[in-house]
Structure 1
Amino acid sequence: MMRFFGTLLLCLTVCCHLRAQTSFGDACVGSWKGVMHIYNKGVLKDSVPVRLTVTPTNQPQTWTWKTEYLSPKTPVVKDYILRLKDAAKQEYVTDEGNGIMLLDYLFVNKLYSVFETQGIVLTSTYELIGDTLIFEVTSGKQQTETGPAVTTYSVDNLQRVVFKKAN
């Protein structure tokens, strides 16, 4: 019985060590396809096919993060760079260009970013589950004081894509 638990502990340690060596960016490398569903106040307003392409660059721990919104009316391409800023703290940076840098924080298999622009608070997440990558952005700006020293913000909009690896 002790041999079994010893072997189990060794396997878990090796698996955790191997997983720790794979960065979030490396785990996302490839081509992904999905449909963005756009909600306002809980009601589906639109949907758009989306393609995400993640490729390593020639710089260490840096990846291109190209998102193509394949709308027939108004197609949009977002060419970003994802960079591992601090491996010990699991901090990343999304470089949107034009000097805009968003800080991202990795917890287990989910990358989080919270930021404000023009009075709107946004959260952005990417969650990797096997061969599925879930991307969500929420936004809202209405502030409500809900108690001493607590201010909450509305969540008015949600954009959500469930990406699948494209082969």
Structure 2
Amino acid sequence: MKKFLFVFCAFFLMFFAQAQETDFSFPENALGSYSGTLFIDSPRGKQEIPMEFHMKKTDSLNKYTYQLVYNGQARDYSLIIKDKQKGICEVDENNGIILPSRFSGNTLYSFFEVQGNFLSSRLEFKEDHLFFEILFSNTKAKTTTGGTSDKIPEVYGYPITVVQKATLKKTN
């Protein structure tokens, strides 16, 4: 009986967690303004700066304004939904740079290389806030391990040098 109760509770919790995740409709539920503090940890030390994120509808179907504000300086981008079912998106920097992105599990992911650095960005949306994170790794600092036999492949590592994190509260 205890085993049955445990399995039933585990099933119920998995079902409830999955049901909560599917209630979030992106980008509709993510629209609005968010603000907080960005924490930066880099070889130059730790830093805190005010940060905002704004996402609004536009007149174009599947296109949204996507604005990041760091220390009062705005960066205006566009979010383009390419395939909502598959979570395929693009962040258009409106200067010829377009970053492929993927929305999955309430989180918008992007991974790209610029000026010898890999960057991974992650925006996880919740009902009244979002978690923002960017990781940097210099491609020249690559490490190589493994490759010692046919069964052990060579693996490249990219040490993370800068971590940017923020929890931004939804203001509207």
Say whether the 8 Å CA contact 1:132–1:163 is kept in structure 2.
yes
Q: Which has the larger radius of gyration?
A: 2
Tell me what 1:3 maps to: none
Q: Is residue 155 of structure 1 aligned with residue 160 of structure 2?
A: yes
Write the mapping of 1:1-167 to structure 2, written as runs, cut at 5 A.
Answer: 19=23, 22-23=25-26, 25-41=27-43, 45-70=46-71, 75-141=72-138, 142-148=141-147, 149-167=154-172
Give the Å deviation of 1:19: 3.3
Letter in 2 for 1:37: F
Letter in 2 for 1:160: K
Distance 1:153 1:164, change over 3 A: same
Letter in 2 for 1:153: Y
Tell me what 2:9 maps to: none
Query: What is the rounded CA distance, in whole Å, between the counterparts of 1:63 and 1:152 in structure 2?
Result: 35
Name stretches of at least 5 consecutive residues in structure 1 with no aligned partner. 1-7
Letter in 1 for 2:117: I
Query: What is the rounded CA distance, in whole Å, between the counterparts of 2:127 and 2:89 in structure 1?
Result: 21
Q: How many residues align?
A: 149
Name stretches of at least 5 consecutive residues in structure 2 with no aligned partner. 1-11, 148-153
Give the Å deviation of 1:125: 0.5
Percent identical across equivalent pairs? 30
Given the two structures, how large is their TM-score scaled by the length of structure 2?
0.78
Q: Deviations over 1:104-140 (max 9, x none)?
A: 1112111111111111111000001221201110101
Give the Å deviation of 1:44: 5.3
Given the two structures, how large is their TM-score scaled by the length of structure 1?
0.80
Say whether the 8 Å CA contact 1:37–1:44 is kept in structure 2.
no
Letter in 2 for 1:145: T
